[in-house]
Amino acid sequence: MKKLMLPFFLLMVQYSFGQQVFQLTPPLLKYQSIFYDNKALLEIKFDQPGAEVRYTMNGNEPTEKDLLYTKPVVISGKRIRVKAKSIGKGFLPSGTATVEFFKTGKAIRKIEFSTPNPKYPGNGVGTLHDNIGGQMDLSSGTWLGYDTDTVTVTIQLKEKGSIKGVLVDILQNESNWIFLPEQVLLYYYDDTRNAYVPAGKEVFSSERPAPKQCSAQELIPNQKIHTDNLKLVFCPVKKIPGWHPGKDNHAWLFIDEIKVY
């Protein structure tokens, strides 16, 4: 009888003296834009007695041994991913708050692009290199929106130089029929041929749902390039895949920033 009562007694003690452990909320990340010329400042807001914020700048998940937030963080690298968590004794750590910053690359003289849908004209001629960045709100006026089969963007740099990569910020919001393109083609202008020459491409898949996000995609040339003139050709999804309520319809493409490195 004593052996049968012991587990019951231990269970009651655990129930009587145990406390519910609460999870902290993620910290709030505040910044002007994820795109910047020289440096950006990141403020991390969190107010909970007995808790603190730990963060990383290398893309790793923060732990109690990582950087302690005490003042605004100066961002100055080409591409920096910051992750932050709220951590406190007696609490479960929060979920991770994440933001990625991008430094302006080579100086751009002019960008020309296909005419967007009148509903989504962006901020005008400077939309793709104004360092403002697209907002998740589709009515913000920060995106160039397209529902055509191809979109062409030509980039004229202020001076010739070696091209290491071209970064494009693209919106993924599949609930509103906005998908990554099927592919993006990169070309550079070859003065000896007096023509644009293929230099690389990036292919994307839409076989399964993706989270709502601003997706920064970098195209790396497949050869050495020295030029001041580039062209990007976007091929939007022509038939939305079968898992989506809008299957077989033409998808939208939304772009807002282009950086050349």
90/200 same-domain check: no
Measured distance CA(231)–CA(260) in Å, rounded: 11
70/148 same-domain check: no
pLDDT of residue 208: 94
pLDDT of residue 124: 87
If residue 251 lies in a helix (H) or strand (E), which one and from where to where? none
179/212 same-domain check: yes
Show pLDDT as tens, one digit a residue, over the chain (261 residues): 434 333 333 333 333 445 678 899 999 999 999 999 999 999 999 988 989 999 999 999 999 999 999 999 999 989 999 999 999 999 999 999 999 999 999 999 999 999 999 999 998 889 999 998 878 888 788 999 999 999 999 999 999 999 999 999 999 999 999 999 999 999 999 999 999 999 999 999 999 999 999 999 999 999 999 999 999 999 999 999 999 999 999 999 999 999 999
Tokens of 254: 């939304």
162/249 same-domain check: yes
Tell me: the pLDDT tens digits for 213-249?
999 999 999 999 999 999 999 999 999 999 999 999 9
Q: With 0.75 as the threshold, say if the pTM is over it.
A: yes
Q: How many residues does the chain have?
A: 261
Residue 70 domain boundaries = 28-103
Measured distance CA(64)–CA(51) in Å, rounded: 11
In a domain, 252, yes or no: yes
80/184 same-domain check: no
- Domains in the chain, number: 2
pLDDT of residue 3: 43
pLDDT of residue 39: 94
Q: Which of 88, 103, 118 is the last residue of a domain?
A: 103
SS3 category, 16: helix
78/122 same-domain check: no
Q: Are 131 and 35 in contact (CB under 8 A)?
A: yes
73/112 same-domain check: no
pLDDT of residue 140: 81
93/147 same-domain check: no
Q: Which of 79, 103, 127 is the last residue of a domain?
A: 103
In a domain, 181, yes or no: yes
182/212 same-domain check: yes
141: which strand partners?
none
In a domain, 14, yes or no: no
| CB atoms near residue 164 (< 10 Å) | 15
